[in-house]
Structure 1
Amino acid sequence: MNIRKSLWRPPSRYDSAMQHFLDDVNKTFELKLNNYHDLWAWSVEDVERFWEYWWHKADIIADQQPTKTLVSNGLFEADSWFPDAKLNFAANLLRYKDDSDAIIFCGEDGSRESISYKDLYKQTQSVAAEFHRLGIKPGDRVAAIMPNRPETIIAMLATSWLGAIWSSCSPDFGADGVLERFEQIEPKLIVAIDGYLFKGKKISVCEKIDSIRTKLNCHCVLVRWQNCGEVNSSIPWLDLTNSHLKAPKFHQSLFNDPLYILFSSGTTGKPKCIVHGVGGTLLQHLKEHRLHTDIKRADTLFYFTTCGWMMWNWLISGLASGCTIVLFDGNPFFPTNDALIKIAEQEEITVFGTSAKYISAIQKERLKPREKYSLSKLRTILSTGSPLVPEAFDYVYKELKSDVQLSSISGGTDIVSCFVLGCPTLPVHRGELQCRGLGMAVDVWDSRGNPILNGPGELVCTKSFPSKPVYFWGDPGGLRYRDAYFNRFENIWCHGDWAELTKNNGMIITGRSDTVLNPGGVRIGTAEIYRQVERIPQIIESIVVGQDWEQDTRVILFVVLNKGNELTNGLRELIKETVRTHAGPRHVPAKILQVNDIPRTRSGKITELAVRDTINKRPITNTEALANPEALNEFRDREELSN
């Protein structure tokens, strides 16, 4: 629990919404909270009081205000938040109807499109009218196979306008991967693209969409973007946006009615269908956007994501705060490796969201954006998807921008939001996530359920929160739900992250607890090894797993090398010495092997579980969940792992 170097401090006169909120809490409740950490402690002391107060401060548009905040029978999983409130998600995202930009789309080919809030409302209203004509009603599922484009957002808003349920995946998914998700939820309508661009290549998906539509036996709306062909019996998107029908009034959903169905990665079996509610999603996102990220109407918010990752849902909620959201679809390193940085400069992005993997990649490329771009409007950088190592913090402040708030954030698909994230009134410390989220009673526990003040353990949440899943689709008894979150500790949410609280009241996350290495009984987070390996310039990427060996576990490291490099004995020794010196002798891999590629999920995360199971000769039940399942072939039956 070392106190880590402060890399950024908020300007002394920074007029943040978080500071105003703290002042309001002090005034309303006659308190003397001095700082964010005091505010967080107050917020989790009585979560019901906090969330009731935030409901009223968030200015949510609702036809029926709540008379109850929390109805509980003592079971975390069964808690019901704001059970009698009635609202519409789309109405809150479409509250602004002026000429300011709502959405800007940037393609990898340099194309640019923009839609004002006024036009966004009109187009959504038109599509909602046509969806209604097609028979879409509250509770029906609308599923999308779409890139990160404006039409996808419009279709989602039209779906929630009618009280229906939205689910989406990106068009690079294979047909089997799409079907094993969407067949579970039985959509009445799919919205699909004809093709997309990646690395300058036009990729048609019409044949795949035709096959999927036939097997799902549902309506299909086709968005023609790349003029790649036709899908049988499909309805042109332009017919919907040019409709002269009148949309019904916004459907008023109960707070806990379904809004989204998100999917787990599916690398260990059929993907779980995680259902998130209308009110919990909105209330949580408004808190994270307006307070933790300080998003206002004048801001321009970007997140590098696909429609198959929860950060897409998080990004879209920015419309509820009236900012401009920027979409990108394509390869982030095409046509040049600074493509996203160029967009940040051109669009004057104020909040730039990406993955730790992206930051690591441009660091490996030795990109020095500050020599070419001023990024004068950029205020905050967000990073998620995997732990952001301390050296990546150094890189951002040295080569990207020195006066920027770098917020590593962590949560997930399970809560469609964050447990740990940023705060504009707190300093940024090297290698740390700034704070636990307001109203989120996050702690770190040992295996016996005792809080840990010094050292790593399981990340848990000890009290209920509004954005927990309302249920899993196809899990009527709730058995899969309970097994996913409440199996480890009774009535306590166990998130599956291996984490450590710091003396700065921040947090360090070192990986998933189910992939924690345990050589000789010593638990090691995989990120502890990755951060040392990433110091070595010959290595592009790595993955570390545990191999069952002689009634124990030994650490196996696989590396992808830059072109022209070989895994010599000298390089192996350099890797081992680097890990030994900077992490410790127990972290040193027993074996270091070279591969050409590392398997990853469709949201870009490396999949340690699949590699671990492969080298331990356990069955991989769902390779369709991987973006590159063929990469596993290099890990199978390695002779080097037999001795």
Structure 2
Amino acid sequence: MSDSLLWKPTPERIAGTQLTLFENRLRDSFPDIKPGYQGLHDWSVHYADDFWQALVDDLCIVGDWTGPVSAETPEVVGRRFFPEARLNFAENMLARGNPESLAIIEHREDGRRRQVTYETLRRQSQALAGFLKEQGVESGDRVAGFVPNGIEAVVGMLAASQLGAVWSSCSPDFGVNGVIDRFGQIKPKVLIAIDGYCYNGKTIDTRQRVQDIVSSLPTLKRLIRIHNADSCPWGGDVEGLDWEEAILHAPETHYKRMPFNDPLYILYSSGTTGVPKCIVHGIGGTLIQHLKELSLNTDVRPGDRMFYYTTCGWMMWNWLVSSLGLGATLILFDGSPFSPTPSILWDIAEKENIRIFGASAKYYAACEKEGLSPGKSHNLGTLDALLSTGSPLSHESFDYLYREVKSDVCVSSISGGTDVVSCFALGCPNLPVYRGELQCLGLAMDVAFADDDGNPMATGKGELICRNAFPAMPVGFWDDPGQNRFRDAYFSRFPGIWAHGDYGELCPHEATDELPEQVGAIIHGRSDATLNPGGVRIGTAEIYRQVEKVESVLEALAIGQKWQDDVRVVLFVRLREGVTLDDALIKIIRDTIRSNTTPRHVPARIIQVPDIPRTISGKIVELAVRNVVHGEPVKNQDALANPEALRHFDNLPELQ
């Protein structure tokens, strides 16, 4: 745990945040709330129903708000929030934006830039909703998107949710089997798909994949075809209606208000250990949780330029899009984050006056390896917050962002996941930033880290748990009527307590004359990827943090290999072009790890590989590599962006 203070907001800055304004209004009704974020968090956990009702009122969330805040049940897993309320997600997404203000600015790597106002977004989504309704789409039906991160994806989601239908999307870099493994389970009635896309300077033709997907979805009534790549025009082989025609349909102007807990999104687990789980998220829970996190923890305001580098296959897309519900302007990008130049995302940040910029921890580490200094090469005067997720943001990446991007900015590492389509620990504009730490725990979420028996610990590493119900808990899994698979996934480890599968620790900071009381967190990696040499648990992020300091190493992956009735740590490294792993470099890596951690962290074997497998959303897959090393099957390689990389780990003589 590090007490290295990197940044703190000024009193003037704190006074103007959405969080401060909310706290001031809240204390008019609840004067006993202790000052500061930690006081608000403690109160929100103990009086969660009061908190959620106050949030609905304060944000003026549109709906029919009748009945209690939550339905009391003896189990956390069965509790439902606002069981009698009704609302519409699309109606709320379009309620705050000034009609003439920009809702979306879209960029892609080939230089195309498009934009739409809130009025245009409303007209297009209502027209598409009218077309979907004509095709027989009703509440509960599924509308699927095989789409890039662009305007059409947002319009498609809004049109589906306007009718009370369920939106689910895959990015076009998914293979055919990966898409069918997902959409085949949920049986969509309409598919929206593209003919091709550009990535890393190449145009990828998706027409054959779309044809194969359509032929594998017997419930499909209609294909809507988006022309996205000039060199891949739709032909007669793939029958469907063109997007331009669909959005000229007579509009559906009615927003169907649905029960709070009816489904809105279906997201998917990574699927690297089997067929992906279809995780169903509710309308109201998603909306209220996202608006809480975006408004109070991220300080998104009407008119803000909000960016996150993501695809439609990652939950950060859903999180980003909810910024519309606060009247912000979405900045979307489709393509490689390093094409046509390594600075492309920072170019966009400067050009579009982005205030809140988000990307994965791996992106920031790659920027440092590339030697980028955006703060020197770009005018980032409007930038107030840098967000990071996908994997733990290393201490060194914190240093890099403050040194090379901007010194006066709130760097917020956030952690949650597809399972909750939101966060357990995240940022706060009113709190200091400490090196390597997530600033705070989510409001009204009783998050802790537990020992092996489920007992919460004030200090020390353990399993991330949440001891109370919260609106963003999934409605359940698709086609799991008894909720047996859902309960087994999250509530079997510690009965009645959500076990998320992350391994980390709390970071308490006592109040001083200059700094507030604060409880942050450090995430050390996924629980199922922790290493156990000699029975001592080690988070993989603890090793990666040290390896990333070595200039020659681009990225690394660590596993625990069964060895002589114990486990030994094996580290795989991908090195810079032209660099070969030799005894001298192995010694540098081992010495770096040993001097900054413990001898147990030092790998027994270090092996160079040309590539490291990762999911389509960019996360490295330790479990898949561990299976290959142990001669066990990797059940669903279509979930990987580069499944061919797995062969580099098979039957390695160094591990025999």
- TM-score, scaled relative to structure 2: 0.96
Report the RMSD for the aligned CA atoms in angstroms. 1.0
Deviation at 1:454, TM superposition (A): 1.9
Identity of aligned residues (%): 49
- Which stretch of structure 1 is more off in the superposition, 267-276 or 363-372? 363-372
The match for 2:78 is 78
Q: What is the SS of the residue equivalent to 2:182?
A: helix
Q: Give per-residue Cα distances to partners, 1:564-602, cap 9 Å, x unaligned.
A: 111101111111111100111110000000000000001
The match for 1:582 is 596
Check conservation: 2:369, 2:554, Cα contact below 8 A. Answer: yes
Q: Give per-residue Cα distances to partners, 1:399-440, cap 9 Å, x unaligned.
A: 111111000000000000000000111001100000001111
The match for 2:320 is 315
Q: Give per-residue Cα distances to partners, 1:444-475, cap 9 Å, x unaligned.
A: 11001211122110000000000000010011
Q: What is the SS of the residue equivalent to 1:511?
A: strand
* Distance across 2 between alignment mates of 1:565 and 1:541: 13
Q: Give per-residue Cα distances to partners, 1:155-189, cap 9 Å, x unaligned.
A: 11000000000000001111010001011000001
What does 1:96-495 align with in structure 2 at a 5 Å threshold?
96=97, 98-217=99-218, 218=220, 219-227=222-230, 228-230=232-234, 232-243=238-249, 245-247=250-252, 249-495=254-500
Amino acid at match of 1:54: L
Deviation at 1:97, TM superposition (A): 5.0
Deviation at 1:16, TM superposition (A): 0.7
Q: Give per-residue Cα distances to partners, 1:349-368, cap 9 Å, x unaligned.
A: 00001000000000111111
Q: Give per-residue Cα distances to partners, 1:476-502, cap 9 Å, x unaligned.
A: 111110111001101000000001101
Deviation at 1:617, TM superposition (A): 1.4
Check conservation: 1:47, 1:463, Cα contact below 8 A. Answer: no
Q: What is the SS of the residue equivalent to 2:313?
A: coil
Check conservation: 1:89, 1:278, Cα contact below 8 A. Answer: yes
Q: What is the SS of the residue equivalent to 1:506?
A: strand
* Distance across 2 between alignment mates of 1:25 and 1:124: 35
Deviation at 1:229, TM superposition (A): 2.6
1:526 aligned onto 2:531: no
Check conservation: 2:207, 2:238, Cα contact below 8 A. Answer: no
Amino acid at match of 1:442: V
Q: Give per-residue Cα distances to partners, 1:211-257, cap 9 Å, x unaligned.
A: 111111311100012131325221100111112x2415111110000
The match for 1:594 is 608
Deviation at 1:194, TM superposition (A): 0.9
Amino acid at match of 2:579: N
Check conservation: 1:194, 1:224, Cα contact below 8 A. Answer: yes
Q: What is the SS of the residue equivalent to 1:382?
A: strand
* Distance across 2 between alignment mates of 1:119 and 1:203: 29
Q: Give per-residue Cα distances to partners, 1:511-530, cap 9 Å, x unaligned.
A: 00111101001110001100
Deviation at 1:25, TM superposition (A): 2.5
Check conservation: 1:260, 1:275, Cα contact below 8 A. Answer: yes
* Distance across 2 between alignment mates of 1:102 and 1:32: 36
Q: What is the SS of the residue equivalent to 1:77?
A: coil
Structure 2 gaps, min length 5: 510-518
Q: What is the SS of the residue equivalent to 1:216?
A: coil
Check conservation: 2:33, 2:43, Cα contact below 8 A. Answer: no
Deviation at 1:199, TM superposition (A): 1.4
- TM-score, scaled relative to structure 1: 0.98
* Distance across 1 between alignment mates of 2:332 and 2:31: 43
Q: How many residues align?
A: 639
Q: What is the SS of the residue equivalent to 2:271?
A: coil
Deviation at 1:298, TM superposition (A): 2.4
Deviation at 1:210, TM superposition (A): 1.0
* Distance across 2 between alignment mates of 1:427 and 1:298: 25
* Distance across 1 between alignment mates of 2:349 and 2:414: 20
1:564 aligned onto 2:578: yes
1:508 aligned onto 2:508: no
* Distance across 1 between alignment mates of 2:258 and 2:407: 45
Amino acid at match of 2:385: T
Q: What is the SS of the residue equivalent to 2:388?
A: strand
* Distance across 2 between alignment mates of 1:374 and 1:8: 20
Q: Give per-residue Cα distances to partners, 1:538-580, cap 9 Å, x unaligned.
A: 1011000000111111000000010111110111111111110
Deviation at 1:32, TM superposition (A): 4.7
* Distance across 2 between alignment mates of 1:157 and 1:503: 41
Deviation at 1:503, TM superposition (A): 2.3
Check conservation: 2:101, 2:303, Cα contact below 8 A. Answer: no
Check conservation: 2:128, 2:251, Cα contact below 8 A. Answer: no
* Distance across 2 between alignment mates of 1:52 and 1:205: 46
Amino acid at match of 1:503: P
Check conservation: 1:97, 1:121, Cα contact below 8 A. Answer: no
Check conservation: 1:558, 1:592, Cα contact below 8 A. Answer: yes
* Distance across 2 between alignment mates of 1:453 and 1:157: 43
* Distance across 2 between alignment mates of 1:449 and 1:281: 27
Check conservation: 1:22, 1:33, Cα contact below 8 A. Answer: no
Check conservation: 1:461, 1:493, Cα contact below 8 A. Answer: yes
Check conservation: 1:160, 1:259, Cα contact below 8 A. Answer: yes
Amino acid at match of 2:152: E
Q: What is the SS of the residue equivalent to 2:183?
A: helix
* Distance across 2 between alignment mates of 1:560 and 1:433: 28
Amino acid at match of 2:7: W
Check conservation: 1:458, 1:496, Cα contact below 8 A. Answer: yes
* Distance across 1 between alignment mates of 2:92 and 2:253: 16
Amino acid at match of 1:469: P
Amino acid at match of 1:71: A
Check conservation: 1:434, 1:506, Cα contact below 8 A. Answer: yes
* Distance across 1 between alignment mates of 2:419 and 2:352: 32
Q: Give per-residue Cα distances to partners, 1:256-277, cap 9 Å, x unaligned.
A: 0000000000001100000000
Q: What is the SS of the residue equivalent to 2:311?
A: coil
Check conservation: 1:25, 1:31, Cα contact below 8 A. Answer: no
Check conservation: 1:300, 1:325, Cα contact below 8 A. Answer: yes
Q: Give per-residue Cα distances to partners, 1:120-178, cap 9 Å, x unaligned.
A: 11111111111111111111000010000101100110000000000000011110100
Q: What is the SS of the residue equivalent to 1:177?
A: helix
* Distance across 2 between alignment mates of 1:429 and 1:143: 41
